[in-house]
């Protein structure tokens, strides 16, 4: 699959040295494993290799557990078993599944359903479309859309139960799960005593304190031109950043490119080519907001970002003719950019492989 429109994030370095007492003898360790269909990478500063690798093992185990809980590919995941009971009574669920669904549903409410955690019947049609290179039939889309609707996802916080009120409904937390898993992995590292770390699940990155002697983790936002590489660099500490776009998963049929993000109003994969980057206090927020803003488009999307505490966003949309790209950003986005000096000393790169 070709990558024309790049929306990937790259960790390219660290910001310049600052006075940092008590950070002596810290070494940098790096670990990678594949979960949730993506490569997760952990960058850890720690005095001790043994501690770093045992903490990394625990963090990956946590991600693997969340994959087994939240996957909509694994038929026996807790999420799938819950979907199988749609139309039935309320079902007690794990705290993790409850929290993800609660976060997802509250974003649905805020976005009037642009973020839609019950979109799975439609997403499944588009997965088949990608395999067969054939658009879903309108009748199929109509039937699938009738089974979608976050208002019928009924959560009871006290009882920790979930009910899918209509038969045939199915959950899909693909737009929030990687950010949630990255947050959880960072928390595991923190509990193991590691305060300077970064977790990257492909386009979802969360960071705790910066590397020793530095003021932030430098994360590059790749340009929309595949050849160009990163053109903007963020300096982040105790923050998360996510990108959404049609970078990796899309299908092109009759010259139209459909994203794996679906507009719940139409059931169609997004065709506006854009890349949305969201910085937030945590990865659950940045991941889900990036997906939601992709659906909402630059005007409404930017408004939503401006109204959300601790959130900044950059939206790059491909136009035609003279103005190839339209760039929209929140008022505070510029302040997150690293100064040119900070962009030196590349240490690594992150993000989906270029193909
Ligand atoms: P990526 O997986 O590339 O990081 P996103 O975080 O934007 O991308 O998530 C895309 C996934 O979210 C889709 O594969 C699908 O599972 C799910 N999804 C698609 N459309 C929506 C939507 N409107 N609201 C919520 N989730 C969606
Ligand atoms: Mg997302």
Query: Quick check: 167 and 87 in contact, CB under 8 A?
Result: yes
Where, residue-wise, is CATH 1.10.3980.10 in the chain?
78-164
Q: Where in the chain is the domain with CATH 3.10.520.10?
A: 9-71+176-349
**Domain 9-71+176-349: assigned CATH number:** 3.10.520.10
* pLDDT value at residue 347: 45
pLDDT cut 90: percent of the chain above it: 76
Atom of ligand 1 nearest to the CA of 243: 4
Q: Is the CB of 141 under 6 A from ligand 1?
A: no
> Beta strands of the chain (E only): which ranges?
9-14, 27-35, 38-46, 91-92, 153-156, 161-164, 196-201, 204-207, 217-222, 230-236, 239-245, 250-253, 256-259, 262-263, 268-269, 274-280, 312-318, 325-329
- CA 345 to ligand 1 center in whole angstroms: 33
Whether the CB-CB separation of 215 and 15 falls below 8 Å is answered with yes
- For ligand 1, atom 3, the nearest C-alpha belongs to 244
- For ligand 1, atom 8, the nearest C-alpha belongs to 244
Ligand 1 near 261 CB (within 6 A) = yes
Give the per-residue pLDDT at 248: 59
pLDDT at 350 over 60: no
Phi/psi-derived region of residue 269, left when phi > 0, alpha when psi is between -120 and 50, beta in every other case? beta
Q: Which ligand is nearest to the CA of 201?
A: 1
How much distance in Å is there from the Cα of 322 to the middle of ligand 2?
30
| 346 confidence band (pLDDT: 50, 70, 90) | very low
pLDDT value of position 15: 62
Which pLDDT does position 4 carry in this prediction? 38
Ligand 1 in contact with 244 (CB < 6 A)?
yes
d(CA 150, CA 182): 24
Measuring CA to CA, how many Å separate 340 from each of 16, 126, 234? 10, 42, 11
**Residue 210: predicted pLDDT:** 96
Tens digits of residue pLDDT in 163-186: 999 999 999 999 999 999 999 999
In terms of C-beta density within 10 A (0-12 exposed, 13-18 middle, 19 or more buried), how is residue 148 classed?
Answer: buried
Q: Which of these ranges, 25-39, 64-78, 216-230, has the smallest mean pLDDT?
A: 216-230
- Ligand nearest to the backbone CA of 79: 1
- Separation between Cα atoms, residue 327 and residue 316, nearest integer Å: 5
Integer Cα distance of 185 and 61 in angstroms: 9
Is residue 83 left, alpha or beta, with left meaning phi > 0 and alpha meaning psi from -120 to 50?
alpha
CB of 212 shorter than 6 A to ligand 1: no
| Residue 339 confidence class, pLDDT cut points 50, 70, 90 | confident
- Per residue in 201-229, pLDDT (tens digit) is 989 999 999 999 999 999 998 777 666 67
CA of 333 to the centre of ligand 1 (A): 23
Indicate if ligand 1 lies below 6 Å from the C-beta of 177.
no
Q: Is the CB of 116 under 6 A from ligand 1?
A: yes
pLDDT band at 332; cut points 50, 70, 90: very high
Is the predicted pLDDT of residue 7 greater than 50, yes or no?
no
Residue 184 CB coordination number (10 Å) = 20
- pLDDT, residue 246, reads 57
Q: Ligand 1 within 6 A of 287 CB?
A: yes
Q: Which CATH superfamily is domain 78-164 in?
A: ApbE-like superfamily (1.10.3980.10)
Choose the weakest-confidence range: 86-90, 126-130, 279-283: 126-130
Task: Report whether residue 262 contacts ligand 1, using a CB cutoff of 6 Å.
Answer: yes
Q: In what order do the strands lie in the sheet with 196-201?
A: 27-35, 38-46, 196-201, 204-207, 239-245, 274-280, 312-318, 325-329
Q: Is the CB of residue 175 below 6 angstroms from any atom belonging to ligand 1?
A: yes
Best residue among 243, 259, 291 to mutate for probing ligand 1, ranked by most atoms within 8 Å of CB: 291
105, 153 contact by CB (below 8 A):
yes
Alpha carbon nearest to ligand 1 atom 19, residue: 261
User: Cα angle vertex 184, ends 183, 186, to 5°?
Assistant: 65
Q: Which pLDDT does position 242 carry in this prediction? A: 96
103 lines ligand 1 (CB under 6 A): no
Residue for token digits 């952990």? 42
Q: How far apart are CA 290 and CA 242, in angstroms?
A: 6
Which of 260, 263, 264, 285 should be mutated for ligand 1, with most atoms under 8 A from CB? 260
pLDDT tens digits for range 270-314: 998 889 999 999 999 999 999 999 999 999 999 999 999 999 999
Strands (E), 260-351: 262-263, 268-269, 274-280, 312-318, 325-329
Q: How far is CA 286 from the centre of its chain?
A: 7
Q: Ligand 1 within 6 A of 264 CB? A: yes
213's CB contacts (< 8 A; 6+ apart) are: 17, 18, 19, 20, 23
Residue from 294, 299, 321, 279 nearest 115 by CA = 294
For ligand 1, atom 6, the nearest C-alpha belongs to 175
Q: What is the mean pLDDT of the chain?
A: 90
pLDDT in the model for residue 208 = 98
Strand partners, 327: 316
Instruction: Spell out a b/e string for 301-340, using b for 16 or more CB atoms within 10 Å of the CB, else e.
Output: bbebbeebeebbbbbbbbeeeeeeeeebbbeebeebbbee
Mean pLDDT value across residues 121-139: 95
Interior angle at CA 40, CA 36 and CA 45, nearest 5: 150
The SS3 call for residue 74 is coil
Confidence of residue 340 (pLDDT cuts 50, 70, 90): low
176 CA closest ligand 1 atom index? 6
pLDDT above 70: residue 19: no
**175 Cα to the center of ligand 1, angstroms:** 4
d(CA 318, CA 296): 15
Q: What pLDDT shows up at residue 22?
A: 54
**b/e map of 52-74 (b: 16 or more CB within 10 Å)?**
beebbeebbebbeebbebbbbee
């Amino acid at each position: 699959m070709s990558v024309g429109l790049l929306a990937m994030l790259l960790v390219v370095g660290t910001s310049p040295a600052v006075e940092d007492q008590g950070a002596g003898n810290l070494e940098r360790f790096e670990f990678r494993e594949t979960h949730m269909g993506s490569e997760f990478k952990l960058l850890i500063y720690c005095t001790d290799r043994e501690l770093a690798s045992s903490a990394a093992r625990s963090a990956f185990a946590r991600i693997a557990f969340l994959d087994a809980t939240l996957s909509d590919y694994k038929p026996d995941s807790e999420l799938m078993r819950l979907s199988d009971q749609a139309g039935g009574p309320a079902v007690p669920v794990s705290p993790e599944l409850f929290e993800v669904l609660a976060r997802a549903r509250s974003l649905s409410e805020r976005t009037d359903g642009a973020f839609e955690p019950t979109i799975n019947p439609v997403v499944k049609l588009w997965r088949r479309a990608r395999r067969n290179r054939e658009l879903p039939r309108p009748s199929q889309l109509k039937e699938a859309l009738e089974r979608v609707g976050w208002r019928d996802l009924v959560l009871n916080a006290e009882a920790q139960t979930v009910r899918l009120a209509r038969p045939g409904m199915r959950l899909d937390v693909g737009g929030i799960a990687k950010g949630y898993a990255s947050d959880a992995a960072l928390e595991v590292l923190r509990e193991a005593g590691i305060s300077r770390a970064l977790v990257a699940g492909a386009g979802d990155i969360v960071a705790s304190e910066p590397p020793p002697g530095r003021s932030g983790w430098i994360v590059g936002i790749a340009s929309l031109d595949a050849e160009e590489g990163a053109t903007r660099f963020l300096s982040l500490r105790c923050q998360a950043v996510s990108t959404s776009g049609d970078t990796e998963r899309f299908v092109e049929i009759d010259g139209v490119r459909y994203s794996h993000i679906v507009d719940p109003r139409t059931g169609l994969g997004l065709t506006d080519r854009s890349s949305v980057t969201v910085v937030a206090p945590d990865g659950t927020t940045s991941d889900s907001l990036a997906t939601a803003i992709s659906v909402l488009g630059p005007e409404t999307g930017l408004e939503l970002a401006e109204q959300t505490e601790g959130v900044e966003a950059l939206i790059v949309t491909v136009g035609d003719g003279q103005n190839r790209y339209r760039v929209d950003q929140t008022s505070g986005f510029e302040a997150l950019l690293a100064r040119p000096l900070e962009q030196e000393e590349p240490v690594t790169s992150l993000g989906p492989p270029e193909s």
